[in-house]
Structure 1
């Protein structure tokens, strides 16, 4: 009968490295399953030295997910540096030990891109804001947190469970994607390996051990693998909102045109649409550390992208940024090795994604700001425009009807 042994680790714990090596020595597994997917395996082995495909990154459009992934990795690395161990060191120890002994390695974790996609889509807007604030505090060192005893964390089951429960209260949907779903995915991987191997050693984060064991005790409770690997298809709020703004802008221009305030005011209304959207998109691009040409691109296209839900100012700004400051083959590694957020911003690939995200934020704020401030800027009474414009427009439409 097959036997599955779990080693629960803290990803930045020196003690975990020793425990992994001891488990391999004592258990003598036929296969070692590590909590990694292919991209993270390549990264930890430093085999992936290809230049990043910027066009693929931009076409995905998941700029916020990428930033969250990198910032989470940075925070984990920062903890690892504090205790003198690189994140993933216990996984690397398992891989190296397996290679020395000729033991096959199995990548047991779900693709990080699917996990992050489900993680982000499972969070509410308020939860996403709280997460970004927490990450920003950790990156800048202003989180006010206490020093963490990593070895205690990996050994203290009550502490681990308390942390998981706290995260579950913080974001039920996010916790499901990061923890519960991956418990199930890892269990599927381990059970599949046990069908062809007598001894399977699973090297997983300590936070997954309880969930994996629970599923192993009752495999019938495991969700189907297909349900765990589907990328979520969230309701297209952004597109609906974009279409709504297009309709609102068109309606506003029509009302101004028919209100009798004059063609000069109409032209000003259109001009301010270009200026407000453009200035904010460009300003946020510069705040992200973008090149002046990237900011100019954001300014030039923001008025148009705000009227087309299929386009984004950040996409164009990021393309320019990538052309001017070309990302290099080692940019992924440089992002992970950055000592602080300032160093992260200096890495061309990180800056390209940050520019894309920030330009989109600026353009979106510009759109909202336009509808809030346009009437005071133009110096006209909105009641006059709305009532007279609607009345005159209705009369015009009526004159075109054959009855």
Structure 2
């Protein structure tokens, strides 16, 4: 009967490196399964092809890419603090497998699928909380206390508490990053056990409980296909965008029929352009974008806010890429950056940051418009809306 032995590791732990080597020595596995996919394996081996700059810009998934880079930076920063390169325990497993001529299996789900399911599966509120937490961590808030990585890696109760906290903080995010990968890793290990008598799994300590639960009762495993298909959430972007377009058009119609005058109607349109544009352009500058990128965001934001298929950040990013010209070598610079300030100076990172923040500014501008437009115009909304509805109804009635 085949045997599956698991080694739970911390990705920035010196002890985990030694534990992996010891487990391989003592268990003598027929195959070593590591918590890696082809992309991360190639990156650790420094064999991966860098993505094309044009592909990043055309892809448009700027928020997902930014979150991925921020998460990688935080993990790398922790590793630098404790003197361990992130993924060292996986490198140790790879090196030992090569040295002992033991087959190596990449057991994890494709990182692109995981990130896609992670980001698209989260609610808007979860995304806001996550970005706030990441920004706070990068800014250094709450970072004065020293963290003993080795103790945390061994303390099962603390690990379980951390996972439970993550599920509370972002249930949908935790499902994609932890629960689904527990199941995928368990599938991989069980498949390997059908062809090998002794399987050693090298996985993050946070996955141990979930994987063991599935290995003890494989009937609970969800189908593999359900774990790898691209999510198809409701098109909230188009739904919300359509609502705002309808609201804006209806608001202008009511103002026009309310009798407050053509001048108020024109100013309502002008403020739509100004509020959306100023906030989109301002957030572009906040990201470190070039003035021309900010000007682009300003000029297109009023229009993109009325079209769910377009985003001010896309246009600002294209301008930023034309002016600052990112190179393929920028990806390595992002990986090697030791501080967020250093990372922010890399043209490719700044393109993505400009795109993300310009979109944030444009979105805030849209909400701000509907909240503040009547006070800015100096008119009573109840009177305008009531008169507008009444006059509109009378006009439509005259047409019947």
Same fold judged by TM-score > 0.5? yes
Name stretches of at least 5 consecutive residues in structure 1 with no aligned partner: none
Partner of 1:275: 274
Matched position secondary structure for 1:8: strand
Shift of 1:247: 0.8
SS of 1:5's equivalent? strand
| Aligned mates of 1:257, 1:196 — CA distance in 2 | 75
CA distance in 2 between partners of 1:66 and 1:107 (Å): 23
Aligned to 1:28: 28
In structure 1, the partner of 2:228 is: 229
Question: Where do residues 1-400 of structure 1 align in structure 2 (5 Å cutoff)?
Answer: 1-50=1-50, 52-144=51-143, 146-400=145-399
Contact 2:317-2:352 within 8 A present in 1 as well: yes
Contact 1:314–1:359, Cα closer than 8 Å, also in 2: yes
Give 1:31 shift. Answer: 2.2
- CA separation in 1, counterparts of 2:357 and 2:290? 13
Can you list the C-alpha shifts for 1:343-391, whole angstroms capped at 9, x where unaligned? 1211222211111111111111111111222222223333343233223
Question: Could you say if the C-alpha distance between residues 125 and 307 of structure 1 is closer, same or farther in structure 2, counting changes exceeding 3 Å?
Answer: closer
SS at match of 2:288: coil
TM-score (norm 2): 0.94
- Cα deviation, 1:175-198, whole Å, max 9, x if unaligned, reads 222212111100111111222223
- Number of matched residues? 400
Aligned alpha-carbon RMSD (Å): 1.9
How far apart, CA to CA, are the structure 2 residues paired with 1:144 and 1:89?
A: 23
CA distance in structure 1 between the partners assigned to 2:28 and 2:75 by the alignment: 30
How much does 1:298 deviate?
A: 0.7
Q: Bigger CA drift: 178-187 or 104-113?
A: 104-113
Please tell me whether the aligned partners of residues 12 and 82 of structure 2 are also in contact (alpha carbons under 8 angstroms). yes
Q: Larger deviation: 275-284 or 206-215?
A: 206-215
TM value normalised by structure 1: 0.93
Distance 1:187 1:245 in 2: 45
Mapped partners of 2:75, 2:358: distance in 1: 27
Offset, 1:172: 2.7
Moved over 4 A (4+): none
Corresponding residue SS for 1:196: coil
Shift of 1:42: 1.9
Task: Determine the C-alpha separation between the residues in 2 that align with 1:167 and 1:246.
Answer: 36
Displacement, 1:121?
4.0
Distance in 1 between residues matched to 2:269 and 2:125, nearest whole Å: 33
Is the contact between residue 53 and residue 327 of structure 2 (CA under 8 Å) also seen in structure 1? no
Cα displacement (A) at 1:154: 2.0
Conserved 8 A contact 1:282-1:359: yes
Cα separation, partners in 2 of 1:158 and 1:391, compared to 1, 3 Å: closer
CA shift digits 1:241-277 (9 cap, x unpaired):
1111111111111122222333222222212211111
Q: Secondary structure at the match of 1:372?
A: helix
Tell me by how many angstroms 1:335 deviates.
2.1
CA apart distance, 1:55: 4.0
Q: CA distance change for structure 1 residues 157 and 379 in 2, over 3 Å: closer, same or farther?
A: closer
Per the alignment, in what secondary structure is the counterpart of residue 201 of structure 1? strand
SS of equivalent to 1:281: helix
Q: CA deviation at 1:145?
A: 5.5
Distance across 1 between alignment mates of 2:377 and 2:28: 78
Q: For residues 199-244 of structure 1, what are the alpha-carbon distances to aligned partners after superposition, in whole Å with 9 as ceiling and x for unaligned? A: 3221111111222122111111111111111222222222111111
CA distance in 1, matches of 2:63, 2:272: 26
* 1:49 positional shift: 4.4
Contact 2:285 2:291 in 1 (8 A): yes
Structure 2: where are the runs of 5+ without partners?
Answer: none
